[in-house]
C-alpha cells in the first residue's frame, strides 16, 4: 500500500514545472538593418550584468517585430531588455560618456534616471500565455 502512494507522489513532485509563454511585440524600429536582441532575466542581482535566463535574436524587417518566448517559468518575476543591434555586434553600443547609441527598451517600458531602470521597475509576473509590448527609445 505504501509503495502505491509513494510512487505517484514522487512522480508528481519530479514532474515538469508549469511553463508560460510570452508573445513580445517590439515597436519603434526606425531602420531595417540589424537584429533585435532580447534578454530575459529572472533575478535582480543578474539584471543587465549577468547571464540571462533566456535570450532571443530576430532579424529586423519592418517597423515592429513579434517574438515568441516559450518555456518560461510560470509565476516567475521576469524583466526584459531589448536592443536594436544596428551593426550586428551582439551588444548595445555606447558613446564615450556611456550613453546608448542604438535603440533600446525594457519591459513595462520602464525608464531609469541617469542609467537603466531597476529590475523592480521592469519586472512582470508571467502566467500562462501573455502578450507584452516594448517601445524602443
CATH number, residue 49: 2.60.40
Q: Which domain holds residue 124?
A: 17-135
Residue 1 lies in a domain: no
**DSSP code, position 90:** S
pLDDT for the residue numbered 18: 82
Residue 28 lies in a domain: yes
pTM: 0.86
| 12: pLDDT strictly greater than 60 | no
Give yes or no for a contact between 67 and 84, defined as CB atoms under 8 angstroms apart.
Answer: no
Residue 32 lies in a domain: yes
105-88-119 Cα angle (round to 5): 25
Give yes or no for a contact between 36 and 62, defined as CB atoms under 8 angstroms apart.
Answer: no
Domain count, the chain: 1
| 6: pLDDT strictly greater than 90 | no
Residue 11 lies in a domain: no
Residue 8 lies in a domain: no
| 96: pLDDT strictly greater than 90 | yes
Long-range contacts of 52-61 (CB under 8 A, 24+ apart): 53/78, 57/90, 59/35, 60/29, 60/31, 60/32, 60/33, 60/34, 60/35, 60/36, 60/84, 61/32
Amino acid at each position: 500500500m505504501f509503495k502505491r502512494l509513494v510512487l505517484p507522489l514522487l512522480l508528481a513532485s519530479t514532474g515538469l514545472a508549469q511553463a508560460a509563454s510570452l508573445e513580445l511585440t517590439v515597436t519603434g524600429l526606425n531602420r531595417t538593418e540589424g537584429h533585435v536582441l532580447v534578454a530575459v532575466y529572472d533575478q535582480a542581482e543578474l539584471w543587465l550584468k549577468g547571464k540571462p535566463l533566456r535570450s532571443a535574436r530576430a532579424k529586423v524587417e519592418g517597423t515592429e517585430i513579434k517574438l515568441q518566448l516559450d518555456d518560461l517559468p510560470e509565476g516567475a518575476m521576469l524583466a526584459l531588455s531589448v536592443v536594436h543591434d544596428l551593426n550586428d555586434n551582439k551588444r548595445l553600443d555606447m558613446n564615450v560618456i556611456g550613453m546608448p547609441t542604438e535603440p533600446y527598451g525594457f519591459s513595462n517600458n520602464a525608464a531609469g534616471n541617469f542609467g537603466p531602470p531597476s529590475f523592480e521597475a521592469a519586472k512582470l509576473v508571467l502566467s500562462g500565455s501573455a502578450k507584452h509590448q516594448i517601445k524602443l527609445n
